[in-house]
Amino acid sequence: MRITAIIAAFSSGNPIFDMSQSSDLIQSAQRTIRFELEAVEGLLAHIDADFVKACELILVSKGRVVVVGMGKSGHIGNKIAATLASTGTPAFFVHPAEASHGDMGMITRDDVILALSNSGSTAEIVTLLPLIKRLGIQLISLTGNPDSPLAKAAEVNLDARVAQEACPLNLAPTSSTTAALVLGDALAIALLEARGFTAEDFAFSHPGGALGRRLLLKVENVMHAGEELPHVQRGTLLKDALLEMSRKGLGMTVVLEADGRLAGIFTDGDLRRSLDRSIDVHTTLIEDVMTAHGKTARAEMLAAEALKIMEDHKISALVVIDKDQRPVGALNMHDLLRAGVM
C-alpha cells in the first residue's frame, strides 16, 4: 500500500489493512518470535567447558571486562557491558573503530576483552587482534562462526551461532543479536552467582530511583526517634495516651515498662476498637486496650523489609527496638511513602 493511501486511510478512521493483510502481519510476527526462541534454545548446547573457561578468565582477572563490537553487535555489546557492570563485574564498552584511533589507551594488560562479531571477521575488530596479542590482553570472542579469525585468535570462543536469522532475507541481524544478548546475560549472571553478589551489592550500583531507595534505605533513615517518638508508661490513663498521640502526630504511641522495655503499642485502630466497646477514656488504663508487644523492626533493617512486615500483617505502624527490647523509634506507612519506598 502506498504511503499516501495509508495516511489517508488512517486520517479517515477507516481500516488501513484488510483482514488477510492483518493475518499476514500476525503470522510474520509469530514466525519471528519462533525463530528467535529456537535461536535461544540452541544456546543450551553451547554452554560447555568453553563457557566455564570464559567465566574463569574474568573471575581471576585483576582488571575490567572491555566489550567491543561494531554495528548491531556494538549495541548488544553496550548492553552486555552495562549488565556486567551492574552485577559485580566492572566493565565498559569501547567502539573498535575508536580503539584504532586512540581509545586502545583505555585498555590495560590486566583487562579482559570480550569481542562480539557474528561473522567473526569484522574488519575493525580483526585490525585490533595483533595489538591485543602483543599487549598480552586476554581475549574472549562471542561469535556465530567458531572457525573465524576472531574465534581462532581468542583464548576462548563463546559459540552464539544460529541456524537462521528471523529476517526472511536472512540478512538483518535478528536471531543472532538475540542469541548474543542472551549469552551475555548468561555470562553476567553466572559471574554474579560465582562472586556471591547480593541485593545490597546491587543497590550500590543503582543508588538512584526507586530501586536504590528500596535496596539502600534503612529503617533508621526514616523512623521518628528522640522527642518525636510518642511514648507513655504502663499505668497511664487512656486520655493521657491520646494527648501524647495528638502531640506527636504519628497515629500511635509506644507503651513502656518501668525499665524502659517495650510493653505494647496503641494505635488509631486500637482506639476505634475501644470506642466500639464503650470504653471510658478517663478511667481506662492504657495496658487494658493496647496491643501487647506488637510487631517490631530494627533500626538496621532495610525500609523495604519493614514495609513487607506491615503489608503481611495489615498494620500501618511499627515500633523500632534495640537489642534490649527498648523502643528507639517508630515509623508508619506515610513515612515509607514519603521516602519513596512504596
pLDDT in tens, 83-110: 999 999 999 999 999 999 999 999 999 9
Task: Give the distance from CA 79 to its chain's centroid.
Answer: 14
Residues 170, 263, single domain; the answer is no
pLDDT in tens, 68-80: 999 999 999 999 9
Nearest to 153 by CA among 170, 168, 172, 134: 134
Confirm whether 25 is domain-assigned. no
Residues 304, 190, single domain; the answer is no
Taking residues 308-337, report their average pLDDT: 92
Residues 234, 163, single domain; the answer is no
Task: Give the distance from CA 108 to its chain's centroid.
Answer: 29
Taking the model in full, what pTM does it have?
A: 0.68
Amino acid identity of 48? Answer: D
Is 1 a residue whose pLDDT tops 50? no
Task: Give the distance from CA 181 to its chain's centroid.
Answer: 17
Find out whether 60 and 46 touch, Cβ atoms under 8 Å: no
Q: What is the CATH number of the domain that holds 181?
A: 3.40.50.10490
Residues 138, 245, single domain; the answer is no
Residues 260, 299, single domain; the answer is yes
Confirm whether 11 is domain-assigned. no
In this prediction, residue 15 carries a pLDDT of 60
| Residue spans of alpha helices (H) in the chain | 3-12, 19-42, 49-60, 71-86, 96-99, 123-126, 129-135, 149-153, 175-195, 199-205, 209-216, 219-222, 238-248, 268-276, 303-313, 333-338
Confirm whether 139 is domain-assigned. yes
Is 14 a residue whose pLDDT tops 80? no
Residues 224, 126, single domain; the answer is no
In this prediction, residue 3 carries a pLDDT of 55
Q: What percent of the chain has pLDDT over 70?
A: 91
- Mean pLDDT taken over the chain: 90
Confidence category of residue 278, pLDDT binned at 50, 70, 90? confident
In this prediction, residue 215 carries a pLDDT of 72
More confident residue, 13 or 336: 336
In this prediction, residue 58 carries a pLDDT of 98
In this prediction, residue 207 carries a pLDDT of 67
Find out whether 316 and 267 touch, Cβ atoms under 8 Å: yes
How many whole angstroms separate alpha carbon 11 and alpha carbon 277? 66
User: Who's near 199: CB < 8 A, 6+ residues apart?
Assistant: 215
Query: For residue 326, what is its C-alpha cell?
Result: 527498648
Residues 66, 193, single domain; the answer is yes
pLDDT in tens, 195-236: 998 776 777 776 666 666 677 788 999 999 999 999 999 999
pLDDT in tens, 114-169: 999 999 999 999 999 999 999 999 999 999 999 999 999 999 999 999 999 999 99
Find out whether 299 and 328 touch, Cβ atoms under 8 Å: yes
In this prediction, residue 2 carries a pLDDT of 52
Is 275 a residue whose pLDDT tops 90? no
In this prediction, residue 193 carries a pLDDT of 94
Domain that holds residue 112: 43-197
